[in-house]
Amino acid sequence: MRTGAAADRHGYFHEAVRYDSDEELLAVAVPFLLGGVTAGEPTFVAFGERTGGLIRAALPAGSGVEFLTGGSVYARPTAAIRSYRQLLADQVAAGAGQIRIIGELPQIAFGATWDWWARYESAINHAYDDFPLWSMCAYDNRRTPPHVLDEVARTHPRFATPGDGHVPSPTYTEPTVYLREECAAPADPLQDTPPLIELTDPTAAQARAAVQAVDRRVLPPDDVDDLIVAVSETVTNALRHGRPPVRLRLWAGPDRIVAAVSDGGDGPKDPFAGLLPAGDGATGGLGLWITYQSCNHVSLHRGPAGFTLRLTAGNPH
């Protein structure tokens, strides 16, 4: 049994809230949250400190709304999908007829890593559609760059507005289409310099050794080990599913290591590759999904020369 705007809907009811003032945010969020609690639905807030405080202050004491720690939820898109799917599955198992969540991405997600968060916003239309979820993603017009707001409109089927408004987004694009588009991740300045190592058709073992060779011991060893896992899987995928030549280029900066793995093919056919564990649970589809959870940024580039996956360990910003 679902309630509110999502009543009679199946699966995921995904909305964005674009607000110009705190009052406007509260005018949408508070009725949404209290409506959920009144209906007996598990109701969550995944906001940062400032906006989380606003919401807390606006809700009556003991409202029953639960606050998730937004910062850790939104560390990496694939990890966010994994933890939200677990949360949703647990709530459904406990008998929930609908779950309500309002969340916001941290400001830092609108910078160099926005492309993979845009992919997240698109992919979750599919990834959460297994659950009776009504969620709102809040974007502060005062702090969100215009190009990000454009992508928000393309990745959210509708906008929630004060007064229980639910307005379709005219530019909404199905994830199977959106995720196949070229998404322009900004070049890392390190990529303007010659790579420290460039290998053609390396084995996965040679690729792993190359990452170790460029490690200047400025990153925590665990971060380097995770990048080694990611590069190994990416090179393995390129050798197995891509077209030759497979090329690995590596750069190291004062706070990061960047790896670019290219091949002459078109990249993964599955638009959700990396964001969801692929397909039927066969082991072959897991490599990219693991890669997405082993780096601080993964960007895709499809060009005339083929497909490139760029992986960043350390600080991608």
Binding site for other proteins (CB under 8 A): 82, 203-205, 208, 222, 225-226, 228-229, 232-233, 236, 240, 283, 286-287, 290, 293-294
Q: Least Å distance between CB 166 and other proteins?
A: 36
* Residue (53 or 284) nearer to other proteins, CB: 284
* Residue (155 or 291) nearer to other proteins, CB: 291
* Residue (71 or 284) nearer to other proteins, CB: 284
Q: Least Å distance between CB 155 and other proteins?
A: 25
Rounded CA separation 101/48 (Å): 14
Q: Least Å distance between CB 116 and other proteins?
A: 17
Token match 């960043």: residue? 312
Q: Least Å distance between CB 233 and other proteins?
A: 7
Rounded CA separation 218/256 (Å): 8
Rounded CA separation 28/21 (Å): 11
Neighbouring-strand partners of residue 35: none
Q: Least Å distance between CB 227 and other proteins?
A: 10
Rounded CA separation 33/20 (Å): 20
* Residue (149 or 286) nearer to other proteins, CB: 286
* Residue (6 or 295) nearer to other proteins, CB: 295
* Residue (207 or 250) nearer to other proteins, CB: 207
Q: Least Å distance between CB 243 and other proteins?
A: 18
* Residue (122 or 294) nearer to other proteins, CB: 294
Print the SS3 string covering the chain: CCCHHHCCCCCCEEEEEEECCHHHHHHHHHHHHHHHHHCCCCEEEECCHHHHHHHHHHCCCCCCCEECCHHHHCCCHHHHHHHHHHHHHHHHHCCCCCEEEEECCCHHHHCCCHHHHHHHHHHHHHHCCCCCEEEEEEEECCCCCHHHHHHHHHHCCEEEECCCEEEECCCCCCHHHHCCCCCCCCCCHHHHCCCCEEEECCCHHHHHHHHHHHCCCCCCHHHHHHHHHHHHHHHHHHHHHCCCCCEEEEEECCCEEEEEEEECCCCCCCCCECCECCCCCCHHHHHHHHHHCCCCEEEEEEECCEEEEEEEEECCC
Q: Least Å distance between CB 223 and other proteins?
A: 10
* Residue (187 or 205) nearer to other proteins, CB: 205
Q: Least Å distance between CB 120 and other proteins?
A: 17
